[in-house]
């Protein structure tokens, strides 16, 4: 698929942990012939620690700071699909970096997130307590920011990665056509 309508504009994937940002992002990058960056992977490489380790030793505030630093480094890139950490949207400052490209919210229902994350011990924010309550609380805290994305794609049960990627591109093409003011982002 060619996506000339993007004119090299980077895509930022936002959404809850377990929403498939990395998997979908890799597929989109291959489809578009873009590079792929997962901000969590960059943090792991930069710190030499797993996200779990970093959270345990440095705390969430330090993690959010390094997320912002990574986002600042990748914001100037073009022709890139960037999968962000689920909490990337928490810091208002990050939205200015995200605006250097097009932001796509991959909206996955809590029940599906529970199914995907119920055995995942690598998520520091899910270590203790009721998984449904934690995910619901996190989504409630982040939903206003997620919904500010340029495009939202709601996961449909059983949907394959390729179909989601196609819907994302179709949604973005419609968004760009209906919002001529995005041309300043697109023409960078």
Tens digits of pLDDT across the chain (188 residues): 557 889 899 999 999 988 999 999 999 999 999 999 999 999 999 999 988 888 889 988 999 999 999 999 999 999 999 999 988 998 989 999 999 999 999 999 988 888 877 666 565 555 666 778 888 988 999 999 999 999 999 998 888 999 999 999 999 999 998 887 765 556 44
* Domains of the chain, CATH where assigned: 4-175 (3.40.50.300)
The pTM (predicted TM-score) of the whole model is 0.90
Measured CA angle at 19 (ends 66, 164), to 5 deg? 120
């Amino acid at each position: 698929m060619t996506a000339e309508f993007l004119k090299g504009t980077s895509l930022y994937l936002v959404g809850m942990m377990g929403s498939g940002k990395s998997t979908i992002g890799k597929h989109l990058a291959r489809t578009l012939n873009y590079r792929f960056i997962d901000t969590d992977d960059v943090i792991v490489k930069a710190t030499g620690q797993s996200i779990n380790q970093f959270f345990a030793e440095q705390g969430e505030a330090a993690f959010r700071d390094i997320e912002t630093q990574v986002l600042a480094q990748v914001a100037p890139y073009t022709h890139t699909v960037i999968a962000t950490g689920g909490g990337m949207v928490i810091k208002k400052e990050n939205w200015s970096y995200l605006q250097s490209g097009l932001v796509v919210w991959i909206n996955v229902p809590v029940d599906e997130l529970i199914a995907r994350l119920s055995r995942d011990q690598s998520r520091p924010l899910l270590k203790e307590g009721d998984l449904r309550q934690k995910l619901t609380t996190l989504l409630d805290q982040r939903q206003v920011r997620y919904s500010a994305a340029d495009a939202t794609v709601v996961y449909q049960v059983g949907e394959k990665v390729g179909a989601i990627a196609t819907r994302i591109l179709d949604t973005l093409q419609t968004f760009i056509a209906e919002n001529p003011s995005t041309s300043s982002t697109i023409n960078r």
